[in-house]
């Protein structure tokens, strides 16, 4: 019996201890907060209230500003309209110079005629009996253009042409600097002479000074 | 564990300090803990908190549990007490003196026997039994005072 009572009390108390307790935030913050400082929850609420007040004041100010601006615009529009309506008679009375003056009829000038193309190739026929054109100078007669002579016909033959090809007619003289190709240019020592021009007969073209001897040993290797 | 500490130490502020010290020891010695089942960790932490609470009580209060009643202690019926709501049970236990409350908690709620209680509190087994008897008798008086009628 006593043991059963003790067991019953034990079960109840242990079940109660295993039940999680509710968190008391205010008490917790009061324990954790530094001494002398306000509670963070209250501080945050104050901040929220201040921010909402500022926001509301800004919204109210902006709406008032908008309505005031609209009223100003309406008033300006009315003033402009009234000014426009009164402007015409007022300007006439204030500024007589600006009045419209009736001008006499303008002299009618002959309308300028469009210029037309004149065909110079066509022979101009000058009417004889037209008195209006007598004062104008006579036009020169049409002159035939200088005809290009036709080229003479050439017969086709099998003989080779005598004339030099067009390429070589005006080509400059070929100059070889260095090795000469003719066998006579090789001296007794087996050295190659130095020639300036291709034409070997034209000795006047050779330099007055002795031809420099260039040794090209092993060039044929 | 906070409610457990509050059953031994009536002040909530002191219970918080005891709880902090107890969990400091738990975290410091957790590497040496050997898990054996689902409730083993809870039981181990519970033991640490109880020991820490007893150490706190021993430093601040003199239990003076030297008196012992020789002979058989009468059976105290706490049937009505066990049927009360748990909040009332805890409230009545908190009204007991330190010595009575400690032995009652260790024997009835924690489940220690008198030999273990004697070793923990450094008292004799007779003293432990006497303290328990007196605790139950006092609880019965409190129930009568509060107007709870029970009958056997």
According to DSSP, residue B74 is labeled: P
CA B118, distance to chain mean position in Å, is 13
According to DSSP, residue B72 is labeled: P
Phi, psi of B9 (to 5 degrees): -115, 115
Q: Model confidence at B67, in pLDDT bands (50, 70, 90)?
A: low
- Cβ neighbors of B123 (< 8 A, separation 6 or more) are B63, B65, B66, B117
Q: Model confidence at A59, in pLDDT bands (50, 70, 90)?
A: very high
Per-residue model confidence as pLDDT tens digits over B41-56: 888 899 999 999 999 9
User: Per CB distance under 8 Å, which residues of A are interface residues toward B?
Assistant: 1-2, 5-6, 8-10, 12-17, 21
Structural Rg of chain B based on CA atoms: 16
Q: Model confidence at A2, in pLDDT bands (50, 70, 90)?
A: low
Residue B55 to residue B59: CA distance in whole angstroms: 6
Q: Determine the pLDDT at residue B147.
A: 72
Per-residue model confidence as pLDDT tens digits over A65-79: 999 999 999 999 999
ipTM field:
0.81
**Regarding predicted confidence, which is higher, B148 or A212?**
B148
Mean pLDDT, range A151-176, rounded to an integer:
61
**Regarding predicted confidence, which is higher, A94 or B8?**
B8
Nearest to A183 by CA among A200, A169, A162: A200
- How far apart are the CA of A39 and the nearest CA of chain B, in angstroms? 20
Tokens (6 digits) for B5: 């500490």
Per-residue model confidence as pLDDT tens digits over A133-155: 556 666 666 555 555 666 677 66
Cβ contact B86–A12 (<8 Å): yes
Residue A23 to residue B33: CA distance in whole angstroms: 30
Whole-number mean pLDDT of chain B?
83
Contact A195, A189 (CB under 8 A): no
Q: Determine the pLDDT at residue A162.
A: 61
Mutate to test the interface with A, among B7, B50, B86, B88 (most CBs of A within 10 A): B86
pLDDT surpassing 50 at residue B108 = yes
Residue A177 to residue A153: CA distance in whole angstroms: 45
Residue A80 to residue A27: CA distance in whole angstroms: 70
- Residue A194, strand partner residues: A179
- How far apart are the CA of B80 and the nearest CA of chain A, in angstroms? 9
């Amino acid at each position: 019996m006593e043991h059963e009572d003790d067991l019953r009390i034990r079960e109840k108390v242990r079940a109660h201890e295993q039940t999680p307790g509710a968190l008391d935030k205010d008490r917790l913050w009061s324990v954790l907060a530094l001494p002398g400082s306000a509670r963070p929850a209250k501080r945050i609420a104050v901040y929220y209230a201040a921010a909402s007040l500022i926001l509301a004041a800004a919204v109210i100010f902006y709406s008032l500003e908008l309505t005031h601006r609209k009223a100003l615009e309406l008033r300006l529009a009315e003033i402009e309209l009234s000014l426009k309506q009164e402007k015409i008679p007022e300007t006439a009375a204030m500024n007589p110079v600006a009045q419209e003056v009736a001008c006499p009829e303008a002299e009618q000038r002959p309308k300028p005629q469009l210029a037309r193309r004149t065909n110079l190739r066509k022979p101009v026929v000058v009417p004889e009996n037209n008195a209006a054109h007598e004062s104008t100078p006579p036009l020169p007669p049409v002159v035939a253009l200088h005809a290009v002579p036709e080229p003479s016909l050439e017969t086709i033959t099998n003989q080779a042409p005598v004339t030099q090809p067009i390429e070589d007619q005006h080509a400059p003289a070929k100059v070889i600097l260095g090795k000469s190709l003719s066998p006579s240019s090789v001296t007794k020592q087996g050295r190659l002479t130095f020639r300036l021009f291709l034409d070997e007969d034209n000795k006047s073209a050779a330099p007055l000074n002795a031809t420099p001897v260039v040794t090209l040993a092993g060039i044929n290797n | 564990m906070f409610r457990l500490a509050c059953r031994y130490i009536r002040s909530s502020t002191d219970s918080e300090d005891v709880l902090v010290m107890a969990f400091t020891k738990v975290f410091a010695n957790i590497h040496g803990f050997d898990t054996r089942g689902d409730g083993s960790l809870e039981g181990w932490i519970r033991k640490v908190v109880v020991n820490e609470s007893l150490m706190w009580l021993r430093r601040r209060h003199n239990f003076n549990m030297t008196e012992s009643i020789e002979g058989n202690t009468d059976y105290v019926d706490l049937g009505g007490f066990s049927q009360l709501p748990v909040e009332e049970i805890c409230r009545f236990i908190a009204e007991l003196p330190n010595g009575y409350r400690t032995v009652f908690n260790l024997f009835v709620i924690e489940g220690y026997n008198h030999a273990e209680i004697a070793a923990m509190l450094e008292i004799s087994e007779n003293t432990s039994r006497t303290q328990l008897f007196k605790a139950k008798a006092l609880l019965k008086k409190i129930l009568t005072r509060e107007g709870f009628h029970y009958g056997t």
